[in-house]
Amino acid sequence: MSTTATLLTCPLDKSPLTKRDNGYRCANNHHFDIAKEGYVNLLPAHHKRSKQPGDNKAMVQARRQFLDTNWYQAISDLLNSTVSQTLDTSRTNNLLDAGCGEGYYLARLVEHCDKEINAYGLDISKFAVAAAAKKYKALNWLVASNRQIPLADSSLDSIICAFGFPCYQEFSEKLKPTGKLFLMETQEQHLIELRQLIYPELKAYKPLDLTPAENANFVLEDKQSLQQSITLDKQAISQLLAMTPHLYRAPKEGIAKVEALSTLTLTLDVALYQFGRC
């Protein structure tokens, strides 16, 4: 955990956390250790919906292997170029990746930017955060939920949520009045070839509903779309299956079809939404 982390709040009483020895403590003496990998677990047991919420260890490992091969680099590059343009060059920018997974997008963003960034990555999966903290030691990693972000209100310049679960009201409370929210979402044709192979029938596509964002005082400032074709080898096909819920949701017959392939050409189809505050 970086010594620049000054925004942490107690998940039990929302009071500021102070670093003491190998952990953080609030005024009411709630204490949270820094794990050996370098992250802090700020997800109390009574806030969990299962014993180990979020992605399991196998999914995290597969995603790390897949993303490190840069199959999704174009998506990361779009996020980097868009977010960096909004950051202030005259001061340190506080930024949160809400649903950071194993850290790929946040780490590449910080590396890309020439502005000063105090970066936090948050995920509900302990396995994902541990993997992120172990590899990207200079950043601040938290096990926590988007529903209750353990950072000070009105403290963040930017929040990114890439293929995660946006909690608009919580995001609004954590952002400064001039803060920006960036959502990366899949569109209708994303991985369509994979989905057609593994499911007998596809669900109807539903565009992103902007009403919850508007109700939380966000206004859409920009939307960019990215479409690209990639051809995966057999190893990457296996990693993609393992890192997504498709492996557990799809019929066995459909999974077997994909696993038998030596290559698979897929469509990437995503949108990046940029929101400001009303």
pLDDT given for residue 1 in this prediction: 39
Cβ(214)–Cβ(276) below 8 Å: no
- Residue 79 tokens, joined: 């996020």
Is residue 68 within a helix (H) or strand (E), and if so which, with residue range?
helix 57-68
Residues of the chain with pLDDT under 70: 1-6, 46-52
pLDDT given for residue 48 in this prediction: 53
d(Cα 235, Cα 203) in Å, to the nearest integer?
27
Is residue 135 within a helix (H) or strand (E), and if so which, with residue range?
helix 126-135
Dihedral, CA of residue 12, residue 42, residue 52 and residue 72, to nearest 10: 140
250 φ, ψ to 5°?
-75, 155
**Using one digit for the tens of pLDDT, what is the confidence trace for 40-96?**
999 987 555 555 677 899 999 999 999 999 999 999 999 999 999 999 999 999 999
pTM (whole model) above 0.75: yes
pLDDT given for residue 6 in this prediction: 67
pLDDT given for residue 44 in this prediction: 85
* Residue keyed to tokens 């995001």: 171
* Residue keyed to tokens 């009403």: 211
d(Cα 202, Cα 220) in Å, to the nearest integer?
29
* CATH class (in words) of the domain with range 18-277: alpha beta
HSE-CB at 79 with a 13 A cutoff on CA atoms is 26
d(Cα 185, Cα 115) in Å, to the nearest integer?
25
Please name the residues in contact with 44: beta carbons below 8 A apart, sequence gap of 6 or more.
Answer: 11, 12
Q: Report domain extents, the chain.
A: 18-277
One-letter amino acid for residue 105 of the chain: Y
Is residue 213 within a helix (H) or strand (E), and if so which, with residue range?
helix 211-215
One-letter amino acid for residue 42 of the chain: L
**Using one digit for the tens of pLDDT, what is the confidence trace for 245-265?**
888 889 999 999 999 999 999
d(Cα 9, Cα 26) in Å, to the nearest integer?
8
pLDDT given for residue 2 in this prediction: 39
Please name the residues in contact with 257: beta carbons below 8 A apart, sequence gap of 6 or more.
Answer: 197, 198
